[in-house]
Structure 1
Amino acid sequence: MHPADIKKTQRAVQFDQGRLQIEDIADIANGKAQAILSDDPKFRAAIARGADFLDRLLREDGIIYGVTTGYGDSCTVVVPPELIAELPHHLFTYHGCGLGEYLTPAQTRAVMATRLASLSKGFSGVSVELLEQIARLLDAGLLPLIPSEGSVGASGDLTPLSYLAAVLCGEREVWRDGVQVPAEQALREAGIKPIRLRPKEGLAIMNGTAVMTALACLAYDRAAYLTKLTTRITAMASFALDGNAHHFDETLFSVKPHPGMQQVAGWLRQDLDCEQTERNGKRLQDRYSIRCAPHVIGVLADALPFFRQSIENELNSANDNPIIDAEGERVLHGGHFYGGHIAFAMDGMKNAVANLADLLDRQMALLVDSRYNHGLPANLSGAEGSRAAINHGLKALQISASAWTAEALKLTMPASVFSRSTECHNQDKVSMGTIAARDCLRVLELTEQVVAALLISVRQGVALRLRVQPDAALHASLSDMMEVLGKDVALIVEDRRLEPDLRVLLERIRSQAWELYAPQN
């Protein structure tokens, strides 16, 4: 599809002083939406008032942190009037010391949109031209190369955001159609003129929480999907293990009123035959990884509304320093760049998500072990007859899933407790929010790999259960899931390399290809 045609199919997300949602940022990141800067004259006048107020203060010899002074601990250093215009360039230049892998194009789009959202609130003292330049780069697909490492999360994401500031001015490098290109060349060829940052604009771009908040938006989107997908896998595991669906009884869950946990149990009731006779030859109590699955998945389900509130409040905040109150004609020095709320949300999310990996890893251990899987073949091998002796089914896959789970669990140490005093003890208590967000994304990545392994396992386990119990009743939702999984993963009879299957399933998971648990009327 031609790029112009793609833009026609995208929904528009308008940037003004209105409230944005996580999905707006996620859709811009994933190419499903286009960022549009509002052309409302009232909005543009509100933005301009902040820049005009700063101009007047400068003419009147006012003292403004980061405008007429040095930065951070250097706030006691007075900048001579003739050098004020050069200060923003120095700020993004000396912060060009990031390392690590570059943010992906999707992550970079999320960062740019998140910073645009904050600056559009009208309390940063920036010009309309600066906002337009960010929107232009997004529209042209010119994305700053942003190293992922080097932020302590206060004063915001200074080092990574310096790469956005530099590219706006035609310096450093960009992604263009997946290729690294010098920013000066890319802007010139796109017909975009580099800007010169006004006195407060370097600080306004860099001294904020855009990187951690953008990554948090993308993490939330993935975690919310995993609550549903892990529930569906649990239902399939319960069926494959000939489990007792009465563990998810509605009355049972009514006496412990965590709404997210109750929702998970409700989803399991949609997938399983909860009207079966209480015992019916089944084990009275299934092991915890099945019986307590709503209690594990439900922690994340119940935490998601809190995570959403924290992330969206940060997304819709003016979070640089100083805050410019043009209406009251005040410069307010504070610490809104501190990313504590995002750090706490990401530390909490990675813990809850890693517990999903651990839950599924335990379910897989039951599925492959003939001592616990209620009559299924060892390692869920589909081979029969003499060939069963040389086929090993999912033996190695269970080892890999265990490795991914262990790594995810290892990363759950909260980043926010590792504050370091930096910058001559000016930044003596910092949030570590960006590290927490990066850790959370890695935990999500590992957990999705475990999910892919379990999708193969439950697809195999359900098929083998139907082989040994042809009269077992499979609900429509699980039958549909078996059908779609069967298109990607053939039944494993003879041993085969499973990496291609896993990679296909990972693509399905990350594109959220399957509709799961439509809202009930």
Structure 2
Amino acid sequence: MTVNTSRNTIEFGCKPVTIEDIVAISRGASARVTDDAASRQRIEASAQFVKDLWQEEGVIYGVTTGYGDSCTVSIPPHLVEELPLHLTRFHGCGLGREFDRAHGRAILASRLASLSRGYSGVRMELLDRLASYIERDIVPVVPEEGSVGASGDLTPLSYVAASLVGERDVYFKGERKSAAEVLQAQGLAPLQLRPKEGLAIMNGTAVMTAIACLTFDRAQYLAKLATRLTAMVSVALKGNTNHFDGKLFSVKPHPGQGQIARWIHDDLQAAEVARNSDRLQDRYSVRCAPHIIGVLQDSLPWFRQFIETELNSANDNPIIDGEGEHVLHGGHFYGGHIAFAMDSLKVAVANIADLVDRQMALLMDVKFNNGLPSNLSGATPDRAMINHGFKAVQIGTSAWTAEALKHTMPASVFSRSTECHNQDKVSMGTIAARDCERVLELTEQVVAAGLLTATQAFYLRKQQSDFDHSAITPTLESMYAEVREYFDIVDEDRALEGVLRQTIQLIRDQRWELYPND
């Protein structure tokens, strides 16, 4: 992802935080806790109530009791203040790859969004420290694996809590360093977590929600890019523009589907010039593209609602209502909504990979590509027999698509009973989110290949004397030209890994401005 150099500041604790806010922080935006008096009063009252209650020998889960199945174990008063540190330490068992800096920043922001609601029993000092981490770009190193997504993201979030007390590692100024070293260099004293604060940091859905925000942003862009790519493929195949007519979609009025059709229709300037192909009906991967991409486009609003509601919720346990003086024991750490959203999003995105893979197959095959060279080779006739154009790229695309489709098995149905059967039904939300991210990575690879393939097809069409050049509208010509700035046409076989990787990065950086008026 690109880094936001404007350093805009996102405020937490007063108004709702959006997906775009979390994405902005992942790219470099800063954070601050609100100065709103009512919000700060609610936060401070929650922390004070925890302090007063345990000192009066009240019973609070995770404060005066052990954790999970150990909730029947009473903690003597002289050990209560040590308990949070033990929680951070025994959960230090994460494995697998580690989240990068962008993900780490999103995780910090997601946890700050929840804790700043003022129902978690944490001090303002802790919230300010999380905001300071974002401001100073101190990012905990968090392993990806180890959360079942109910009782929250305990193990990965333990790495956030541990960094606050000066333990484990952080990313700082492009390097991995010990948290203790960085805190000392920054003049920050390690926090001593108060009762409930370790649990408040760890017992929530911040990791899965942070990933969900980032995947939503990527999927939203992919829907637009796949739409533009479909318009290019339609032109390259001499397709029938009438497939995207507004009247047609008025009788099946899914709004997102209709929006995709309008975008393709506008890209083709179909209202100005009707270009009918030799076929009355194009094959499904072109004709039905609005119906396929439209599933994702129509799902985005409810994905947003699920994600942003979770993002702006108090999602730990117990909930501390300081102003009403209630301790509410429940299960708000359960990541079911994020799990369902991510399991659903990855299916919609994988269908984009499958769509583009099929479109590429049409472009490559002389039986279907309406007069283009085999495998889109740009070789001269005397050298065509030894050149293979995009043949291997299509094979690779088939592999990436198959892997994306394989990952669409819903993670949320694989609940496991764990922790002495206390956590006997869990969400698997973090695994679902990570799976969704993997599907997005693979689909971005497929779309990158599709974009280069369509650009090559455009070039080859332009060389044909009977081609109607007005079919390549200014919008599509601009897209073609932007890709050609870094992509040389394949007229002789060469390795394409480098340009594929470059295109993937441009997609992830959201390099092309698509449909700016929508």
Does the 8 Å contact 2:319/2:329 carry over to 1? yes
Structure 1 counterpart SS, 2:314: coil
1:493 matches 2:491: yes
Structure 2 counterpart SS, 1:118: helix
Counterpart-to-counterpart distance in 1, 2:430 and 2:164 = 22
Counterpart-to-counterpart distance in 2, 1:498 and 1:215 = 30
Counterpart-to-counterpart distance in 2, 1:271 and 1:138 = 41
Instruction: From 40, 48, 64, give the equivalent of 1:44.
Output: 40
Instruction: From 360, 363, 374, give the equivalent of 2:359.
Output: 363
Displacement after TM superposition at 1:276 (Å): 7.6
Instruction: From 368, 371, 377, give the equivalent of 2:373.
Output: 377
Structure 1 counterpart SS, 2:493: coil
Counterpart-to-counterpart distance in 1, 2:275 and 2:118 = 64
Letter in 1 for 2:14: Q
Counterpart-to-counterpart distance in 1, 2:434 and 2:62 = 29
Aligned to 2:7: 10
Aligned to 1:452: 448
Displacement after TM superposition at 1:454 (Å): 0.5
Counterpart-to-counterpart distance in 1, 2:133 and 2:280 = 61
Letter in 1 for 2:510: Q
Displacement after TM superposition at 1:504 (Å): 1.3
Letter in 2 for 1:489: F
Aligned to 2:83: 87
- What does residue range 417-432 of structure 1 map to in structure 2 within 5 Å? 417-432=413-428
Letter in 2 for 1:125: G
Change over 3 Å in CA distance of 1:496–1:58 after alignment to 2: same
Does the 8 Å contact 1:17/1:122 carry over to 2? no
Letter in 1 for 2:516: A
Letter in 2 for 1:477: T
Aligned to 1:104: 100
Aligned to 2:24: 27
Displacement after TM superposition at 1:445 (Å): 0.4
Displacement after TM superposition at 1:277 (Å): 7.7
Aligned to 1:439: 435
Structure 1 counterpart SS, 2:357: helix
Structure 2 counterpart SS, 1:204: helix
Letter in 1 for 2:347: N
Aligned to 1:502: 500
- What does residue range 388-399 of structure 1 map to in structure 2 within 5 Å? 388-399=384-395
Counterpart-to-counterpart distance in 2, 1:296 and 1:433 = 25
Aligned to 1:410: 406
Cα deviation, 1:197-251, whole Å, max 9, x if unaligned, reads 0000000000000000000000000000000000000000110011111111111
Does the 8 Å contact 2:239/2:277 carry over to 1? no
Displacement after TM superposition at 1:388 (Å): 1.3
- Range 130-139 or range 296-305, more displaced: 130-139
Counterpart-to-counterpart distance in 2, 1:193 and 1:344 = 40
Displacement after TM superposition at 1:36 (Å): 1.3
Q: CA RMSD in A?
A: 1.4
Does the 8 Å contact 1:88/1:199 carry over to 2? yes
Letter in 2 for 1:476: P
Does the 8 Å contact 2:88/2:198 carry over to 1? yes
Does the 8 Å contact 2:212/2:307 carry over to 1? yes
Give structure 2 stretches of 5+ with no counterpart.
none
Letter in 2 for 1:248: F
Does the 8 Å contact 1:449/1:506 carry over to 2? yes
TM-score, structure 1 length as denominator?
0.97
Aligned to 1:511: 509
Structure 2 counterpart SS, 1:193: coil
1:114 matches 2:128: no
Instruction: From 150, 153, 163, give the equivalent of 2:159.
Output: 163
Instruction: From 477, 480, 483, give the equivalent of 1:482.
Output: 480
1:472 matches 2:472: no
Aligned to 1:58: 54
Counterpart-to-counterpart distance in 1, 2:187 and 2:51 = 29
Does the 8 Å contact 1:354/1:405 carry over to 2? yes
Counterpart-to-counterpart distance in 2, 1:59 and 1:389 = 85
Counterpart-to-counterpart distance in 1, 2:345 and 2:94 = 26
Displacement after TM superposition at 1:472 (Å): 3.2
Structure 1 counterpart SS, 2:488: coil
Does the 8 Å contact 1:488/1:505 carry over to 2? no
Aligned to 1:294: 290
- What does residue range 235-274 of structure 1 map to in structure 2 within 5 Å? 235-274=231-270
Cα deviation, 1:91-122, whole Å, max 9, x if unaligned, reads 11100010000001000000000000100000
Letter in 2 for 1:10: R
1:133 matches 2:129: yes
Give structure 1 stretches of 5+ with no counterpart.
none
Counterpart-to-counterpart distance in 2, 1:516 and 1:55 = 53
1:315 matches 2:323: no
- What does residue range 321-360 of structure 1 map to in structure 2 within 5 Å? 321-360=317-356
Letter in 2 for 1:336: H
Counterpart-to-counterpart distance in 1, 2:446 and 2:485 = 20
Structure 1 counterpart SS, 2:45: helix
Letter in 1 for 2:503: L
Counterpart-to-counterpart distance in 2, 1:29 and 1:433 = 20
Counterpart-to-counterpart distance in 2, 1:417 and 1:300 = 22
Change over 3 Å in CA distance of 1:128–1:35 after alignment to 2: same
Number of corresponding residues = 514
Letter in 1 for 2:35: D
Structure 2 counterpart SS, 1:488: coil
Counterpart-to-counterpart distance in 2, 1:447 and 1:463 = 24
- What does residue range 148-159 of structure 1 map to in structure 2 within 5 Å? 148-159=144-155
Counterpart-to-counterpart distance in 2, 1:41 and 1:195 = 24
Does the 8 Å contact 1:169/1:195 carry over to 2? yes
Letter in 1 for 2:146: G
Percent of aligned pairs with the same amino acid: 61
Displacement after TM superposition at 1:279 (Å): 7.6
Cα deviation, 1:114-133, whole Å, max 9, x if unaligned, reads 00010000000000111111
Does the 8 Å contact 1:157/1:209 carry over to 2? yes
Cα deviation, 1:271-327, whole Å, max 9, x if unaligned, reads 114248878552111110000000000000000000000000000000000000112
Structure 1 counterpart SS, 2:510: coil
Does the 8 Å contact 2:14/2:34 carry over to 1? no
Displacement after TM superposition at 1:136 (Å): 1.6
Letter in 1 for 2:410: P
